Each structure stands twice: as structure tokens, then as C-alpha cells.
Amino acid sequence: MLHTLYTSPYSSSSLKLCLDYAQAPSAILLAEDAVVAAIEQGEWFLPLLSSNHRIYVLQEDVQARGLEGKIASEFEVVDIKGFVCLTEQHVTQMKW
């Protein structure tokens, strides 16, 4: 399953709920304000890393927020084409 998150984990409980309920192995795509969760050694770094899910981060949103070079290398940064590929690969999807 592909889970897409758009809100910051500092202003919404969506990421916590997603991590609590997503069945492994799932793919999680962080987009828009959710990309802040992927900052290396940030508050959400270890919960994401230990989740046993594949974590993707949308490149365009990382750039728009000036976070280049701050995203943990353990997470895969994808562009919009990569996002489309993820939606094609996962029949079931959930937006948080």
C-alpha cells in the first residue's frame, strides 16, 4: 500500500496515525509540509527509520522548503515522475 502524507507532523497527527496503522511493508510518501519529517536526526527520523516501511520524499517540496541537503540519506528522494511511478506500482493507496 502507498500512504501519502501532506501535513507537517508538528501540526497534525497524520504521520503518527499512519505509522501506527500502516501494515509493513508499506510505502510512505512525504509531500508538501510532511517533508520536514524526513530531516536527518530530526524528531521523526528514528520513528520513520524503524517503521519497516519504505520512505519516499518528494524532491520538489524539499526544494520549495529550502531543505536540500537536510533530508536523511536513508530515505529516497523522488521527483514528480517517481511519485507517478509509485502510484502505478501500488494498487491500494491512502491519503493522510
With residue 5 as reference, give the H or E element that holds it.
strand 2-5
Each as own residue / partner, the long-range contacts of residues 37-43 (CB below 8 Å, 24 or more positions apart, any chain) are 37/5, 37/8, 37/9, 38/62, 38/71, 38/72, 38/75, 39/67, 39/70, 39/71, 39/72, 40/70, 40/71, 40/72, 40/73, 41/72, 43/9
| CA distance linking residue 86 with residue 17, whole number of Å | 21
* Structure confidence at residue 25 (pLDDT): 85
The pTM for the full model equals: 0.95
Q: Is the pLDDT of residue 13 over 90?
A: yes
Q: Which CATH class is domain 2-95?
A: alpha beta
Residue 24 confidence class, pLDDT cut points 50, 70, 90: confident
* Structure confidence at residue 62 (pLDDT): 98
Per-domain residue ranges for the chain?
2-95
In tens, the pLDDT along 73-90 reads 999 999 999 999 999 999
* Structure confidence at residue 38 (pLDDT): 98
Q: Average pLDDT in the 34-46 region?
A: 97
Q: Average pLDDT in the 13-23 region?
A: 96
| CA distance linking residue 61 with residue 64, whole number of Å | 5
Mean pLDDT of the residues in the chain: 97
